[in-house]
Amino acid sequence: MKKLKFIDICAGIGGGRLGLEESGFECVGHSEIDKIASEVYSMFYNDENNYGDLTKINISDIPEYDILIGGFPCQTFSIVGKREGLDDDRGQIIYGILKILEKTKPKYFILENVKGLINHNKGSSIKIIIEELKNIGYNVEYKVLDSKNFGTPQMRERVYIVGVNKKIKSKNFLWSNEKSEVMVKDFLDDSNENNLDIKNKTFQKYLNNKYNVGKYNIEEILKTDYLILDTRQSDLRIYENRVPTLRAGRHGILYTRKGKLKKLSGKEGLRLQGFPEHIIKKIDSVKLSETKILSLVGNAMTVNVINEIGKSIESIEKDREQLIMTEL
C-alpha cells in the first residue's frame, strides 16, 4: 500500500503526528502558532516546516497529502471553559480547517475536541460542524472515546470526528475495539524526586476544608503505593489505577510512592498521553518548568487513540485498493 501523507493542524507538541506515524503514515507539514509548543515540536521531530497561523496559510503552498489531522481549539467548548463555542474567535478556527479541506480535498480527516462539544449550545454546534463537513464532500462519523480504553490509565474523554471523501468507494469507517486495562505504576517513574510535604499549607487546606475535614487519613493513604490524588478547587479525589484528565490548567495531580506524595512530572504526563520513550527523553534538552511541560501535555492528543483511528483508515485504504484491483 502506498504510504499515506498527512498535515498536522493545530499541532501542539505532536500527539496526533505520533499516532499517525505509528500507523505508518508520513507527515509533510504542520501548523502551530504557540511559540513554546512550536519549539518543542521542532525539537521532538526535527521538523521546521511550520506553516504557522492556519487562517493565513497560502493553501497553494501545502504539498499533496492524504489526511488532515487537527485538534482545533477546545477552550470554547469545554465543560470547564466559558462555552462561547462558535461565537468565540478560537471557535472560528474550525472554519479555517474547513477552507483547507474544501480547497485541497484530502481523502480523510481526523478532528479532535473536548466531549463538551457534543452538547454545547444544546447540540447545535456539533450539528453545524458536521453539516459543514458533509457539504464540502465528506462522509462523517464522530464518537466520544476515552483514552483509558486505549492503552493508558488516563481518563480522557474526547470527541473524534472522522471524515472520508465521498469519492472514495470503500466500506464504512469502523471504530477500533477497546484495549485491555493497563497498570498506572508502569507509567510512573521511580526516579521522580519531586515530593510534596504533607504539611504543605495548600495541601492541608484541601484536607481540612469543610468538604474534606475528617474524610481522609493521609497516613493510611500513604501506606498504599500508586494511589492518585487529584486536588482541584476545594475538591480532593483519590483514584486507584486511574489518572484524571491531564489539562493545560490542571497541575494538582499527586501519587503515593514509598510513603511519600509525589507530584506528577512532565515526563510522566507525556507517558500518560502515549508518547514513546525516545521522544520523552528529549524533553530534558529544553529549559521548561514541570508546570509548562504539563500544560503542553494537557493540550496534546493521546497518541494511542490516534494510532487506532489511523489503523482504521489504513483498513479503508487497503479495501479501496483491493476494490480498484478487482475492477481492473
Which runs of consecutive H residues, i.e. helices, occur in the chain?
Answer: 15-21, 35-45, 93-104, 124-135, 201-208, 218-221, 266-272, 277-280, 290-298, 303-327
Catalytic residue among 74, 117, 145, 293: 74
Contacts of 100 (CB under 8 A, 6+ apart): 9, 54, 57, 59, 62, 68
Q: Nine-digit cell at 23?
A: 500507523
What are the CA-CA distances from residue 291 to residues 75, 238, 247, 249, 301 (Å)?
Answer: 19, 21, 11, 9, 18
Instruction: Confirm whether 27 is a catalytic residue.
Output: no
> Strands 26-31, 67-70: parallel, antiparallel or unpaired by DSSP?
unpaired
Name the nearest CA neighbour of 64 among 12, 105, 96, 110. Answer: 105
Active site residues: 74
